Amino acid sequence: MIGGACVRLTQGDYDRQTTYFKEPLDVAKRYEDIGVKRLHLVDLDGAKASHPAAVNLRALERIATKTTLDIQYGGGIKSEEALREVYDSGASRAICGSIAVREPEAFAQWLTAFGPARVILGADIKAGKIAIHGWLESSQMGVEELIDRFLPQGLSQVICTDISKDGMLTGPNFDLYTRLQQQFEAVDITVSGGIASVDDLYRLNELGLRSVVVGKAIYEGRITLEDLKQCLQNE
């Protein structure tokens, strides 16, 4: 979301933005109607400003109060105050990325205090390294090192985004996600970036991946709501 509207960026570039819907609640209700249980929300304003944006938190609150969706929310969560604000606005789970790189002790403390069921590690990869601050900065850390750091605190959920694939509709990095899921069997590795067709979903399922974020492919009509409904029914 940017400015409370549903948008997509291409490869994380804020100058390559497409706005699809003005009201996220309408989109959320469509997903709920076909049986979707979990909604993935990213506050792109917050990611850039290093704090969740009020306009997007209000959208989160509307969705949380008017649907039964389990909402995971990320973008700009870099303090415990921001984390609590996201939970108070209705998110069941918070996606945290930059703070895990810059302040690992704080992120480890959140995992312990709030529990690994409510705190998701956001691991965004650019040129093989973790990118932070809304993908505007690169670190020197690899994704395996980042995940491994928080296993002692019970880390159980990682959303891994291959920025080179994001918004490109060319298919995900199957090898990357398969390798990570095999290496970290106790962690749910969520695939994010590049999903282009229903075939991608079925292949990921066959490879043993447990969850996937689908965004632009729906907005662009590559995957229809009926397609998703069929996938959900097939589990």
Distance of alpha carbon 27 from the chain centroid: 17
128-158 confidence digits (pLDDT tens)? 889 886 566 677 899 999 999 999 999 999 9
| Stretch 154-170: mean pLDDT | 90
For residue 148 the two structure tokens come to: 């491994």
Selection from 20, 42, 151, 30 nearest residue 91 by Cα: 42
Residue 167's pLDDT is 77
pLDDT at 23 over 80: yes
Q: Residue 8 forms beta bridges with which residues?
A: 18
Residue 145's pLDDT is 96
198-213 confidence digits (pLDDT tens)? 999 999 999 999 999 9
Count of H helices and E strands in the chain?
11, 11
pLDDT at 10 over 90: no
Residue 222 CA to residue 169 CA, distance in Å, equals 9
Q: Residue 72 forms beta bridges with which residues?
A: 40, 93
63-109 confidence digits (pLDDT tens)? 999 999 999 999 999 999 999 999 999 999 999 998 999 999 999 99
175-197 confidence digits (pLDDT tens)? 999 999 999 999 999 999 999 99
Question: Hey, what CATH class is 6-233 in?
Answer: alpha beta
Q: What is the DSSP letter of 35?
A: T
Q: Residue 7 forms beta bridges with which residues?
A: 19
Query: How much is the pTM?
Result: 0.94
Q: Domain locations in the chain?
A: 6-233
Selection from 31, 26, 23 nearest residue 70 by Cα: 31
Residue 151 CA to residue 174 CA, distance in Å, equals 23
Residue 12's pLDDT is 78
25-66 confidence digits (pLDDT tens)? 999 999 999 999 999 999 999 988 999 999 999 999 999 999
On the CB side of 226, CA atoms within 13 Å amount to: 1
Residue 68's pLDDT is 98
Residue 56 CA to residue 45 CA, distance in Å, equals 8
| Stretch 2-10: mean pLDDT | 93
Q: Residue 192 forms beta bridges with which residues?
A: 161, 213
Residue 158 CA to residue 8 CA, distance in Å, equals 21
